[in-house]
Structure 1
Amino acid sequence: MRVAITGVRGLIGGALAASLHADGHEVVGISRSADAAGEIHGGESPAVECMVGWDVPAGTVDTAALEGLDAVVHLAGEGIGGRWSAARKAAIMSSRVDSTALLAKTIGELHAKPTVFVCGSAIGFYGDRGDEELTESSLPGDGFLAEVCKRWERAAVPLNDAGVRLVRIRTGLVVGPGAEAVERMAKVTRLCAGGPLGSGRQWWSWISLEDEVRAIRHLIDSDASGAFNLTSPNPVRQRDFQRALSAQLRRPAMLPAPSFAIRAVLGEMGQELLLDSARVLPAALERDGFAFEHPDLDSAVAVCFG
């Protein structure tokens, strides 16, 4: 199988490339820097056999190199950490929407189209929903990330008319070695400064890096289409996430960070990423027969830091 991946230098893209390569599949990276084949998350790797260049602002991509692919997995996007200035928000939005639109248009014009297009998205699609249990049939929410996800997913819709099976993956907080958000929490925890963020009662929906990769591969091989929540079947409240991390690192989790302080320091980003609540369940993924390797948080954290 020949699979192209955008965002191949990122955490998920790099792990997916390594998994596919290990099983004998050919991995093609799509990157702004096409001259650095093999440079993926964690350093040099033979997992990516060739790199294809693209320029999203210019609307160009090496079309010939995309002919005859079996699958495309689109994971590229500007990082969402840090305060969200107007310019930062514009970059976050355009890096996802414009790149997806470019790929959808390009793939639609290929002679030998891929069978499946897996489009990245996130559980930010659902917004702040309190204790409500959210599945793929739940309505989208409000807020900046919800708007990004809605427009991101909508940009891929033309592929349906092109006869390409479209899968939209709404990923939760990824727990695994090298996961930036978890490593930042671990750094604070090791300093004995970990604790609840705000009330700590907000739901955090997470997935192990291993299950994220396994789920993407499952959906490539499946004949399913539509939206899939890539989250563990056991979301936890933020305070319980911190407790699991603290227990693994053998540090206390008693120093709370008040909501007003998080908003003051991190602004809108702090509210949506840290304080908003999304209790997301992988209903469609489980219906499609996927079995989680790490359904519980303790096992995922143990792999991450054990």
Structure 2
Amino acid sequence: MPEFVKRSEMPASAEEVFRYHDRPGALQRLTPPWEPVEVIKQADNIEPGAEVVLRVGLAGPIKKDWHARHTKYVPYEMFEDVQESGPFAEWVHTHRMEPRSSESSMLEDRIWYRLPFGPLGRIGGAALTRSKLEAMFAYRHEVTKQDLLAHRRFSDQGPMRILVSGSSGLVGSNLVSFLTTGGHEVTRLTRKKSGTREPEVEWDVRNQQLSAAELEGMDAVVHLAGEPIMGRWTEEKKNKIRDSRTKGTTLLCETLASLEQKPKVLICASAIGIYGEGGPTELNEDSPLPPLEALKKSNPGAAFLSDVARDWEAACEPARQAGIRVVNIRIGIVLSPKGGALAKMLPLFKYGMGGKLGNGRQWWSWIALDDLIGTIHYAICDESISGPVNGTAPQPVTNEEFTKTLGKVLHRPTILPVPSFGPKILLGSEEADALLFASTRVLPKRLLDAGYKFRHDRLDGALQHLIGKNG
């Protein structure tokens, strides 16, 4: 059978690397975001007999379930999984951790596989399969390395109990996986319990119900829940956008303030929309916010988002008054093929139909998903950080530069500009002006001053990593 091997040195002991893979969330952390893979079933461990079922996209709407079972398990040394049924004729995957020193080890992924359809499959799929494996394991090893470094920086603080709201969303689900692979215990704050064995707490924002007793003893709280802002902004939609943020945050913060054992820190999501329309001016956390009345005249949609974000941050005041350290992460354009702006852009750009929006001169302040997760983790652990923190990469770009960079990474032309009236017809004028054409050139001054090291500070490197185009 053909053999594929990927070896990388890791900045952690073999035991640490093994524990990372053995904890809940590892499969989610290491699944490349560009791959159409859905986790259908996952065991609580990777010991012999544990089963994993993935639904894998093959071509277009065609999908196939991949049933794998763990067959070998030697603590701190190796584990193995074997395909029982799925897209390959045979598949055996051995993960091995070789000690180098007390602080380093070699991670090896070794795969023996056989393609379906015999000689025809080998002729038609050998090169493509090899290419996909190269991209997949380059991604997996880089994520493993960077996650280990992030967890090691604050390892002296020990495992924490962390409450996360909005845990089913793009950011929340990836944050939970990152935290659990680091050994932290995560409790999900959810509108309805899922019935799984994961720790969960129910809340009802509409009826202002949340059990204080179930929140006692949390070390940190991360609040990400909120109505998505995409979609036509009817009055009902606007009310949901505002109320889900302000009423939910007020309920949570008043409850946290009433606890006997209060968390040390609350990380609450906010948005760079708070800065309104900034043009080419560089903005940081110390920049004054624009007068709302003037902003309403020039860009009503941006004024709405700015007003909501201000109320959102103000709703944290009960927690702050109770002595809880509060950090408001002003989130920029989050990049991931799994959701958000990049997911919507990729299909058009892959077919060479992408282009700049309007004149393309509006500034887009972006951040790779893993750096947003890293920002939240850093803010949890670094006690010097409080108040507003910009969750953006240090090198924002114009929409035109974003467009050209994405096209270059995909090796596709970007010669079809999108006239501004198109998105305004589809989304509505107010929504398009706020979400696509507002210009905010935001810099993460407080993050950089605190010593945070970005995984992806340049757009081209971030896109290459996220889309699987490294090398």
TM-score band by shorter chain is: over 0.9
Q: Distance in 1 between matches of 2:217 and 2:346?
A: 43
Q: CA deviation at 1:140?
A: 2.1
Query: Are 1:164 and 2:313 counterparts?
Result: no
- Answer whether contact 1:231 1:281 (CA < 8 A) is retained: yes
Query: Are 1:183 and 2:332 counterparts?
Result: no
Q: CA deviation at 1:34?
A: 1.7
Q: CA deviation at 1:250?
A: 2.1
What secondary structure, in the 3-state scheme, does the structure 2 residue paired with 1:131 have?
Answer: coil
Tell me the amino acid that sits aligned with residue 15 of structure 1.
N
Query: Are 1:263 and 2:424 counterparts?
Result: yes
Q: Deviations over 1:272-303 (max 9, x none)?
A: 11000000000011111111110000111112
What secondary structure, in the 3-state scheme, does the structure 1 residue paired with 2:327 have?
Answer: strand
Q: 1:36 to 1:190 in 2, by over 3 A?
A: farther
Q: Deviations over 1:89-139 (max 9, x none)?
A: 110111111100000110011111100000100100101110010000112
Picking from 184, 200, 203, the partner of 1:54 is: 203
Aligned to 1:25: 184
Aligned to 1:41: none
Gaps of 5+ in 2: 1-159, 296-302
- Answer whether contact 1:36 1:51 (CA < 8 A) is retained: no
The Cα RMSD (Å) is: 1.2
Give 1:112-261 correspondences, 5 Å limit. 112-141=261-290, 142=295, 143-223=303-383, 224-261=385-422
Aligned to 2:446: 284
- Answer whether contact 1:176 1:303 (CA < 8 A) is retained: no
Q: CA deviation at 1:37?
A: 4.1
Q: Distance in 1 between matches of 2:409 and 2:166?
A: 30
What secondary structure, in the 3-state scheme, does the structure 1 residue paired with 2:312 have?
Answer: helix
What secondary structure, in the 3-state scheme, does the structure 2 residue paired with 1:58 have?
Answer: coil
Q: CA deviation at 1:36?
A: 4.3
Aligned to 2:230: 81
Query: Are 1:104 and 2:278 counterparts?
Result: no
* Greater Cα shift, 76-85 or 173-182: 173-182
- Answer whether contact 2:336 2:343 (CA < 8 A) is retained: no
Gaps of 5+ in 1: 39-48
- Answer whether contact 1:189 1:246 (CA < 8 A) is retained: yes
What secondary structure, in the 3-state scheme, does the structure 2 residue paired with 1:167 have?
Answer: strand
Q: Distance in 2 between matches of 1:134 and 1:179?
A: 26
Q: Which has the higher strand share?
A: 2
Q: Distance in 2 between matches of 1:215 and 1:5?
A: 15
Q: Distance in 1 between matches of 2:312 and 2:164?
A: 17
Q: CA deviation at 1:265?
A: 2.4
Tell me the amino acid that sits aligned with residue 77 of structure 1.
G
- Answer whether contact 2:192 2:202 (CA < 8 A) is retained: yes
Q: 1:30 to 1:129 in 2, by over 3 A?
A: same
Aligned to 1:274: 436
Taking only the aligned residue pairs, the percentage that are identical comes to 43
Aligned to 1:45: none
Q: 1:36 to 1:171 in 2, by over 3 A?
A: farther
* Structure with greater contact order relative to length (CA < 8 Å, sep ≥ 6): 1
Tell me the amino acid that sits aligned with residue 194 of structure 2.
D
Provide the TM-score with structure 2 as the length reference. 0.62
Aligned to 1:15: 174
- Answer whether contact 1:194 1:253 (CA < 8 A) is retained: yes
Q: CA deviation at 1:17?
A: 0.6
Q: CA deviation at 1:158?
A: 1.7
* Greater Cα shift, 15-24 or 141-150: 141-150
Q: Distance in 2 between matches of 1:256 and 1:74?
A: 37
Q: Distance in 2 between matches of 1:297 and 1:269?
A: 25
Picking from 290, 294, 300, the partner of 2:462 is: 300
